[in-house]
Amino acid sequence: MNTRTPIVILNFKTYLESTGEQALKLAKISEKVAEETGVNIAVAVQHADIFRISAEVEIPVLAQHIDAVDAGGHTGSVLLESVKEAGASGTLINHSEMRMKLADIQEMVKKTADNGMGSVVCTNNVETSAAAATLKPNFVAIEPPELIGSGIPVSKAEPEIVEGTVDIIHDISPEVTVLCGAGISTGEDMQAALDLGTEGVLLASGIILADDPKKALLDLVGNI
Amino acid sequence: MNTRTPIVILNFKTYLESTGEQALKLAKISEKVAEETGVNIAVAVQHADIFRISAEVEIPVLAQHIDAVDAGGHTGSVLLESVKEAGASGTLINHSEMRMKLADIQEMVKKTADNGMGSVVCTNNVETSAAAATLKPNFVAIEPPELIGSGIPVSKAEPEIVEGTVDIIHDISPEVTVLCGAGISTGEDMQAALDLGTEGVLLASGIILADDPKKALLDLVGNI
Amino acid sequence: MNTRTPIVILNFKTYLESTGEQALKLAKISEKVAEETGVNIAVAVQHADIFRISAEVEIPVLAQHIDAVDAGGHTGSVLLESVKEAGASGTLINHSEMRMKLADIQEMVKKTADNGMGSVVCTNNVETSAAAATLKPNFVAIEPPELIGSGIPVSKAEPEIVEGTVDIIHDISPEVTVLCGAGISTGEDMQAALDLGTEGVLLASGIILADDPKKALLDLVGNI
Amino acid sequence: MNTRTPIVILNFKTYLESTGEQALKLAKISEKVAEETGVNIAVAVQHADIFRISAEVEIPVLAQHIDAVDAGGHTGSVLLESVKEAGASGTLINHSEMRMKLADIQEMVKKTADNGMGSVVCTNNVETSAAAATLKPNFVAIEPPELIGSGIPVSKAEPEIVEGTVDIIHDISPEVTVLCGAGISTGEDMQAALDLGTEGVLLASGIILADDPKKALLDLVGNI
């Protein structure tokens, strides 16, 4: 019996298949699979969808990004306080499609902690993972950008990057949980990720764009 | 009797006073004042607040910004389709606190129109107002940045910029409605804006940070 | 006899083939071809290469970009005054690989004129060309981004965009000179560009990455 | 006798007082003071000034910034290879006036090392200094942004930030040299910086905007 508690963060990105009503439907599927399998599944949804989704599901709802601003005159920016009040319990930070300045990452990791929210800092290699770990976010999710959306799982294509990240983060900040992502879509990919020492995965298109997202999600986590 | 139908766009920015529950309260006040006075009032709210506010008020709810992306893999970006489905009927574009690239402004003005949404392009002087007008948004809102939040109304401090903008936009694209903003807070400021040829105002702190926002809003539009 | 005076702006971009010593060599070739053919050739070079190139050639040397800052504390930005003093007589603005905010384009077009320098604003379609023309730069260079570096000349692939740009700019600001670019590399492409009403071309890889840049440049302008 | 070899990096920023001819003059003054005092002085100059200055002085000339691009089609970007060939022996990275994304900082620190150039990563607090140190640049320069240009020396106003940075960097990457900056202008400020465990300072306006830069520089380093 596997006693690990793997974590799956499903990134809804800005696909039409995961916007508005469709996002809500996908969040409910995720919740159902989490209940059925006992795996921790969280959904990272678009800002405009946080309120309606967090009102209707019990699983954690994350923002995909927050801007490095404090309350004030910042028209159009995404304020941590706004996503928190809408129901988000955490946020992705520095996703490869929304890279942030080092000073802003540090400030937002601190601000999420100060506000009782979780932080998932995304990184692209061992070196930036080490840097991110010094900032003590809750999670670091290592995702080599060239594999994102490729269908080629990082856990197979570049296992040494995942292992190197796990090792260096355990050295620097053992309390940081390591996830991996990029190209992950099957249960086999997920198992490989766990075998490399991570505690879960961050993934998107493999599930969201699947013909049958529920089946895909069950395939991902059903045998862990 | 003034037969003009002035327009007021209240920009909630990212003030705590206009986030979440407070935003909803302010939107309801805006709706009430719109009903009582017959003035067209719209609210531009944070992305995470669009859904809950548009579900509870009848006045137009705008986004403060959309990112120049189409549906797809753009984690953390604000997709037009997401704010539309959440209930926004239009969006600010290129606010001085969220300036955009020319190519992106053009693309998003077109995309809002293609999606049946309204566009309010913010500009900083006569020259950029002329450029914006060639793109044929629904509104151009001229706001000299140095006066934003100053309490010094543009309609008094720099009337020639407002008049120059009205003139050149009427020349280039007469179907574009001209608003002005920056430093506007009183009914006198608003009347001055209308007297200079605009059809309304875009404003924020003068109302949102007022001790009594309803009173401030009534003062702004009560005697027009 | 063709009495038009076509203009060729050769964009060195950041190719190694057009950096440092190689850039100087290419600039001298450009100068030689300009002398031999009587065609106006200008070179747009990297910031670090402006000084040494402008000291050694008589043809106009342009910057590829300037940042929208004034003199002061802006570490790492490219100040107009610095490229001017290094010998640049003008600059590209808003190239597709360095898109700028509308307000910044306006400010820098004005600043170049105020400093006696030339401005070449790059645009991507008819609409943004119209917007750029209202700002009255010396040149607008229309370059559909999808054709840049493609080897498919805009003058053949999308002639209606070039013609539409020429027409609308002549309407809005007849004093603005229209160039076109993207995919241009042969004399035939250049002639097609002139036949569509432009007064020249902006090009890069077709010459810079050619096996024999001098031959390529002669082919481009030799029969105009 | 003080056997430490303090390092002074003079950031020319984009002041008119340190552009073009004036920049060259200031670089020669810096060289003279370095010779007279034996202190290591380097100058970080604008891109367009690197070539002419490095041709005329023997002290190290740094770029103020490089863009995170490789050779290719990146019009207007600052390519490492271009500043290297112009004579720069290193570069500032992530200055507070030109903050960079974490992934870009990592990539450029690596690229400078791979190209035999020095890297000076600027940071704003102890946390980001730790993150920067994991990337193993040659130097980390801690500069609390609120003190830059203030005339209030960081070495006096926030000694705990400087000491904390020295301690954590010595822990993480002892081979990284720590500098500090912000508000430094006198010999007393410099001595305080050294006493806190740094090996030198990064400074700008205190010297560049001084009535007599040579006198100011001599005052800074004359008694170390």
Indicate whether D221 pLDDT > 80: yes
Half-sphere exposure of D87 (CA within 13 A, CB side): 24
Number of Cβ pairs closer than 8 Å across C and D? 156
Q: B204: which chain A residues are within 8 Å (Cβ-Cβ)?
A: 73, 75
Nearest to A13 by CA among B71, B108, B115, B112: B71
* Dihedral angle of Cα C29, C32, C33, C39, to the nearest 10 degrees: 130
Q: In chain A, which stretches have pLDDT less than 70?
A: 1-5
Cα separation, C222 vs C217, in Å, equals 8
**Interval B165-195: pLDDT, tens:** 999 999 999 999 999 987 888 898 899 899 9
Report CA-CA distances (Å) from D167 to A216, D133, D160, D163, D174: 49, 11, 10, 6, 9
Nearest to B103 among C99, C104, C106 (CB): C99
Chain A residue with Cα closest to D135: A127
Chain D residues with at least one Cβ partner in A under 8 Å: 94, 96, 99-106, 110, 123-125, 127-128, 130-132, 134-135, 172
| Closest CA of chain A from B96, distance in Å | 8
Looking at residue A205, its amino acid is S
Residue C87 lies in a domain: yes
Phi and psi at residue A68, in whole multiples of 5°? -80, 65
Tell me the C-alpha to C-alpha distance, in Å, between residue A162 and each of A127, A158, A159, C112, D104.
12, 7, 5, 50, 20
Examine residue B1 and state whether it is found in any structural domain, yes or no. Answer: no
Q: Which chains sit next to B, with 3 or more Cβ pairs under 8 A?
A: A, C
Could you tell me if residue D1 is inside a domain? no
- Model confidence at D3, in pLDDT bands (50, 70, 90)? very low
pLDDT of residue C174: 95
Nearest alpha-carbon partner for D78 in D117, D47, D116, D101: D47
The yes-or-no answer on residue C127 being catalytic is: no
For residue C142, what are the β-bridge partners? C123, C180
pTM of the predicted model, to two decimals?
0.95
Instruction: Copy the structure tokens of residue B147.
Output: 């006066």
State the CATH number of the domain containing residue A18: 3.20.20.70
**Residue A144: per-residue pLDDT:** 83
Q: Give pLDDT, residue B149.
A: 73
Q: Is the pLDDT of residue B23 over 80?
A: yes
- What pLDDT does A156 receive? 81
* C168 falls within a domain: yes
The pair of three-digit structure tokens given for residue C94, joined into one six-digit string: 């808003």
Label residue C186 exposed, middle or buried (CB < 10 Å: 0-12, 13-18, 19+): middle
- pLDDT computed for residue B147 by the predictor: 78
Strands B61-63, B90-93: pairing is parallel
CA–CA separation, C96 and C79 (whole Å)? 20
Mutation pick from B15, B18, B45, B51 vs chain A, by most beta carbons of A within 10 Å, is B51
A130 CB neighbours in chain D (<8 A) are 134
Q: What is the pLDDT of residues A21-42, one digit of tens each?
A: 999 999 999 999 999 999 999 9
Longest dimension (CA), chain A: 53
Locate the chain B residue with the closest alpha carbon to C171: B172
Q: Spell out which chain A residues touch chain D, with contact meaning CB-CB distance below 8 angstroms.
A: 94, 96, 99-106, 110, 123-125, 127-128, 130-132, 134-135, 172
Q: Is the pLDDT of residue C1 over 50?
A: no
Considering only CB atoms, which chain B residues are within 8 Å of C94?
101-102
More confident residue, D186 or D95: D95
Residues B76-80, mean pLDDT to the nearest whole number: 98
ipTM: 0.94
Write down the pLDDT at residue C178: 96
Among the partner-chain residues A106, A127, A172, the one whose CB lies closest to the CB of D106 is: A127
A1: distance to nearest CA of chain B, Å? 35
In a domain, A66, yes or no: yes
What mean pLDDT comes out for the span C127-133?
98
Task: Report pLDDT for A224.
Answer: 74
Chain B residue with the nearest C-alpha to that of A50: B48
Question: Which of A74, A92, A205 lies at the smallest CB-CB distance from B14?
Answer: A74
pLDDT at D137: 98
Q: So what's the pLDDT on residue C126?
A: 96
Chain C residues touching B96 at Cβ < 8 A: 103
The total domain count for chain D is 1
Torsion sign over Cα B158, B164, B165, B166 = positive
Cβ contacts of D163 within 8 Å, gap of 6 or more? D196, D197
Per-residue pLDDT, C153: 83
Tens of pLDDT, residue by residue over B80-115, are 999 999 999 999 999 999 999 999 999 999 999 999
* Residues of chain C with a CB closer than 8 angstroms to some CB in chain B: 94, 96, 99-106, 110, 123-125, 127-128, 130-132, 134-135, 172
pLDDT of amino acid C33:
96
Dihedral sign of CA atoms A6, A7, A12, A17 in order: positive
Instruction: List chain B residues with CB under 8 Å of A75.
Output: 11, 13-14, 44, 64-65, 92, 95-98, 204
List residues bridging with D10 in a β-sheet: D43, D203
- Name the H helices within A38-148: 50-54, 80-86, 102-114, 126-134
Cβ–Cβ below 8 Å for C64 and D82: no
B20: enclosing H helix or E strand: none
> Cα(D221)–Cα(D121) distance, rounded to whole angstroms?
23
| Contact between D34 and D65 (Cβ < 8 Å) | no
Of the candidates C96, C102, C124, the beta carbon closest to that of B131 is on C102
Coil, strand or helix at D67: coil
Q: How confident is the model at residue C3 (pLDDT cuts 50, 70, 90)?
A: very low
Contacts of range A210-216, beta carbons closer than 8 Å, 24 or more positions apart: A210/A185, A213/A26, A213/A29, A214/A29, A214/A32, A214/A33, A216/A185
Query: Among A87-91, C153-157, D24-28, whose mean pLDDT is lowest?
Result: C153-157
At residue D1, does pLDDT exceed 60? no
Question: Structure tokens of D109?
Answer: 């620190």
Interface probe, candidates B11, B14, B117, chain A, greatest A C-beta count within 10 A: B14
Asked if B106 and C128 come within 8 Å (Cβ–Cβ), the reply is yes
Selecting from A48, A149, A204 the residue whose C-beta is nearest the C-beta of B82 gives A48
Q: In terms of Cα–Cα distance, which of B150, B125, B163 is closest to B209? A: B150
| B85 with A48: Cβ contact below 8 A | yes
Indicate the residue of C15, C76, C78 with minimum beta-carbon distance to D71: C15
Q: Would residue B35 show up in a list of annotated catalytic residues for this protein?
A: no
Chains D and B touch (3+ CB pairs under 8 A): no
CB-CB under 8 Å, C132 with B131 = yes
pLDDT single digits (tens) A38-87: 999 999 999 999 999 999 999 999 999 999 999 999 999 999 999 999 99
Cα(A162)–Cα(A143) distance, rounded to whole angstroms?
9
Q: Which residue of C has its CA nearest to B127?
A: C135
Say whether A61 sits in a helix, a strand or coil: strand
Residues of D at the C interface, defined by Cβ within 8 angstroms: 11, 13-16, 19-21, 44, 46-52, 63-65, 69, 71-79, 81-83, 85-86, 88, 92, 95-98, 148-149, 204-205
Can you give the pLDDT at residue B3?
42
Q: Cβ contact (<8 Å) for A172 and D134? A: yes
Interface probe with C: pick from B93, B95, B102, most Cβ of C within 10 Å: B102
Domain that holds residue D127: 7-221
Contact B79 A14 (CB under 8 A): yes
pLDDT band per the 50, 70, 90 thresholds, residue B224:
confident
Cβ–Cβ gap D104/A99 under 8 Å:
yes
pLDDT attached to residue B2: 39
